[in-house]
Amino acid sequence: MATLGRALCIITGASKGFGRAVAKEMARLVEPGSAFVLVARSGDELRTLQTELAESGLEARCVVLDLSLNDSPERIVRTAKEVFSPDIKHVILVNNAASLGDVSRFCKSFTSMAEVDSYLSFNVSSALCLTAGVLQAFPKQSGLRRCVINVSSLCALKPFASWVLYCSGKAARDMMFKVLAEEEPDLRVLNYAPGPLDTDMQMVARTRTGESTLRKAFSGMFDEGQLLTCEASCAKMMKLLLEDKYKSGDHIDFYDV
Amino acid sequence: MSGVLRASGSTLGRCMCIITGASKGFGRALAHLVLNYLKTGSVLLLVEELLQNLKDMQEITIFCTVADLSTKEGVEDTVAMARQQSLKEIDHVLLINNAASLGDISPFENFTELERVNSYLAFNVSSVLALTAGMLQAFPPRAGLQWSVVNCSSMFAVQALPSWVLYCTAKAARDMMFRVLAVENPNVKVLSYAPGPMDTQMQEDIRRLTGIQYHLHPCRDSAAKLMRLLLDNDFVTACHVDFFDL
């Protein structure tokens, strides 16, 4: 069976939803001696996940913090270095943590710079700084595979009314990781759009979206059972990683695989 | 746009025109050029780092304001200044979001400090949304009031360039932001215009930092192309148009 090797997996937003599914799925695909760094704001849920991984014989560290604080990237990197060992041949960073922003409102209501700054800090800057820190901590070396994943969205490519923050943030991230892919050809960079997942974020989308047609579309997907499970989407992402044939920097959607 | 009668292609109407980053480079070239197309009773609000006084024009009110658009106060003061003009009989609001910075040109892995990245995004992304939102509230689009917004974009909003992560990321965010604005506001015409490499301080900085010398075009040539697009007003809203496309 194909595996991800002996890996160090760093996953943000790991307490629930897609991030949690990624952690659990990766745990099945890594070899003994692998280690996980799980990052989220909620300690309880992370610790439950940590226990589950420990039951599979995997070391997992929880880093409970708000990603948009200045010292957060550094704290995560420090923990990653602590669990790393020279036996580890694969470093995988999954930039999954994200927020929707206030989707009940339209562009013309975003007069507060503080609100926009705060959104970009969490959804764009923190991903850049964490990735940069991880790359510095685990520089290119022969025998070490390095993979950076950006959990993207259709919203990175297509504008949606009342979703200005989320669309702008996702578009920014896709470009950020494309630049990274161009700069470091030995690095594997994947912009993966997981599709419409049955998560807390999706619930906010269908209940709070300001644009009524869009809100109804989300409700419709839920009512018709068209939402994907995190596990199903995660399985496709793992397939991409295991086959390892994707072009670094590409945007690949669940429905493309 | 119903109720607005103007000779197509020759003027911007009785316009409230706001240009950011107007003290030099492309912004300054635009400010000079736009004056030729503003009808009597227009207002030109130039937001700049340094106060440069344009020659007073009869019948067109020109305000130059110094505002640091990387701050909330700078954005709010600019909107307040525009708002003072909101009782005039304006038939067109033209907002040109030109102010921008290059940021550090440096390998991706050097960007480990959140504050630095946040500061860059505040000026190049947040302030643009906040300012545009503020102007939309100050001059709500309605029948008889044409609204045009320009996002000074770049080829690098679309094409990734190694070591340019800050600039590319911000430009990509802006292009998308304006696409959302366009979807939400069918009565606002939105244009992401990539002006091409021009003879500006920014290009000087690029040459100094990267050693790369692009073939540069005069600001006024690129400004003229943008002006033609605005006057003809037949561009598709939210499209990304490059100087080299025209």
Separation in Å, CA of A146 to nearest CA in chain B: 14
- Distance from the B181 Cα atom to the nearest Cα atom in chain A, whole angstroms: 6
- Domain with B150 in it: what CATH number? 3.40.50.720
Q: Which residues of chain A have pLDDT under 70?
A: none
Percent of chain B scoring above 90 in pLDDT: 82
Distance from CA of B83 to the nearest CA of A (A): 14
Q: What is the mean pLDDT of chain B?
A: 91
Q: Is B6 part of a structural domain of the chain?
A: no
Task: Find where tokens 């520089």 sit.
Answer: A139
Q: What residues have CB less than 8 Å from B193, skipping those under 6 apart?
A: B150, B151, B152, B153, B226, B229, B241, B242, B243
Q: Which domain holds residue B49?
A: 15-242
Confidence of residue B1 (pLDDT cuts 50, 70, 90): very low
Mean per-residue pLDDT for B105-134? 97
Which residue from A257, A191, A187, A235 is spatially nearest to A28, judged by alpha carbons? A235
pLDDT of res. B91: 93
In 3D space, the residue among A173, A186, A96 whose CA is nearest the CA of residue A147 turns out to be A186
Q: Residue B7 domain-assigned?
A: no
| CATH fold group of domain A7-196+230-253 | Rossmann fold (3.40.50)
Q: Which of A124, A159, A183 sits opposite B107 (nearest CB)?
A: A183
> For B74-101, what is the mean pLDDT?
91
Question: Which of B68, B128, B155, B176 would you mutate first to test chain A, the one with the most A CBs within 10 A?
Answer: B176
Q: Where are the domains of chain A?
A: 7-196+230-253
b/e per residue A41-62 (b: at least 16 CB within 10 A): eeeebbeebbeebeeeebbbbb
Residue contact B133–A107, C-beta within 8 A? yes
Q: In this model, does residue B56 exceed pLDDT 70?
A: no
Best mutation target, B93, B106, B119, B125, to test chain A (most A CBs within 10 A): B125
- The one-letter code for the residue type at A31 is E
Mean pLDDT of chain A: 97
Nearest to A163 among B115, B170, B180 (CB): B180
Residues in A closer than 8 angstroms to B169, CB to CB, are 124, 128, 172-173, 175-176, 179
Bridge partners of A10, per DSSP, are: A37, A93
CA distance A33 to chain B (A): 27
> Hey, of B93, B129, B167, which one would you mutate to test binding to chain A, going by the most A CBs within 10 A of its CB?
B129
Domain count, chain B: 1
**Is B9 inside any structural domain?**
no
A108 contacts in B (CB within 8 Å)?
132-133, 136-137, 184-185
* Residue B61: both structure tokens together: 């009110």
Percent of chain A with pLDDT over 90: 99
Report if residue B1 sits inside a domain. Answer: no
Residue of A nearest to B177 (CA): A168
Q: What is the pLDDT of residues B196-240, one digit of tens each?
A: 999 999 999 999 999 998 899 999 999 999 999 999 999 999 999
* CB-based contact A182 B160, cutoff 8 Å: yes
- A43 vs B65, residue with greater confidence: A43
